[in-house]
Structure 1
């Protein structure tokens, strides 16, 4: 009997009564309309007039449910009172006319069925109590026989109480059946539409893109800095007693690297915290024009020989590159040099050229044999990040063994050169 009289059935019953209460304003308005049409006749004076007012109230309720806030209110009530899993219901206001029409259908069904059950809830218990008490109270029996003559026709003293109990059970069964019906209809009428699912998928994709971008920025900036600082510190320690000048240069490079990385980290954390590129006081994203020379200098200070060839070509100057291409190109060069610091060996040959409508980056270096007992660090995220950066701009990138060494190549489309590389 739990499905018919348990806590879930009782909550659904409350939900139906709430629907009946919500229909009352529409019913009162419809009763005024019915009274005006029937020359002022009361809508409560006869059953046909009441049914007419009821039938008129339902379209009014449907029209009011076309407004977007109707769906969140209905979903909240269903989730709380009908025990429908939240993942089956849509979130937020209805954004399309199809979703609004489905919400209107739900609203009309809820209020219409709820009004009928509310009427039964008001009428059946008093009648059942009368039937239960009729055989035992003569005064009640005489007064009720006057109101309900058919009671006097019931044979035996136990027929009326049994009929009263049956009415109460029937009311509970009707409430449970109506509640179960609405619980089944809720995912159909209040569930996410294809447009809702598409919007949710786009939101998840946007969140994933932001997370991937933050991961790339942290990996490229912080990862490169740690690799460079580690190599510079190791080189300085080896020549601490024999080459003080080199040690001073290495310490200066370490200081500059960490200072710049703190600024970049602050900017990335500002994005993570506030979700806005303008958030946080961190340093602006590095570019080829402003930061390539410093990157090469810090790498050389770590003891890696780098031979760089730069050819802006028709662009004329790296400062005229499109801002996004300049930033992504810097990060690609930075990650390539970071891989050399961690896994490869010098010398490094770097060539950056602007040919036609593409910016081409080529970096080659000899392959280094793995050091005995030294595990390889990193999990290939850097190369994957390079490929993602190039793909986001519509370019391409590849890395692998070539002619006995290691080669990284990337091509980024330039579009129309810009004079603003910020």
Structure 2
């Protein structure tokens, strides 16, 4: 087969600020990431092919090492069979039925978080949402540690998650072999404390270990020819899962609260929807469980969150590596080719989403958020899609409902909120002023 010709337009250096300028007339365009060539996909059908239809032909990409210092085993393992094994271990604690059981604890943590706020006193929203998400992740995935240790673990996890969230994905800072000093310090502090908890769990009777992903890892006998994870690997896997659950939730909640403050009419509709939900079921403090693709249109609060994830997907860029020769469109590419796409770019395609930069929750009255056609991918798609999607929807609904019912948040006059495209797509800095409802 003849070699693939060079991109006639020449490769351009990949930058977040250039996403909108990448030609939509070309479904595949060659770009460079830190000097390495990659094929950037702008056609949702091709993205679906890479993630789903031909997913077995692609492995984990190497251009964006989002979790390089966290774990290389378990769910992040490049080997598909190993990934599937640990996915099966995690699934019982993240599936929809299990999430319903987590809801009361999520609600309690959310209430405790906002109860500490004071009228008129500025709140670092990302830090507060990070602390809430960290406590929820620890209690539901790790099992409840001793009280004193739980508080310290949550605080250290929140700090580590913030440092991971703003870790550069590419460029000079990302090319350094070692993480930044602050990230390394945050990682070491949390890892040491978590390792102590894991060591205690390893020596404790099985019935004394709280059920969760950690207990599943401790009881795991391995898979196929691979041995079970050792203590260090179990700790690394737990760190990865906890950080992933925290950074994404903190990012989405930060954007949600900011957008409510910037769009009073949307905020009013969310509050009415929350009041309606509470009136229909007084014992339910969160919104209805996510029901994408089932029954009628989702409620307004869920439509709002769906729209926030469209505009600001926390995992905004993804890379895969071809394991063999692959076909994309009318061209073929050799094994080893890096293939990448941006959910941020796909979510703002005016062909799929009219007036794509406008916040419009009601666009989801007729559309359905699905990864089926590759045009809506906040949680990825295919065999390596986010295993915690149902967990994330429920957590976001509960956190948003708790904050919005209790507090009206505003941005201080003169503040300029900008997006920072690092490991997650998060506000560069978001300080808001709370006032009671």
TM-score normalised per structure 2: 0.23
Q: Which of the pair has more CA radius of gyration?
A: 1
Larger proportion of helix:
1
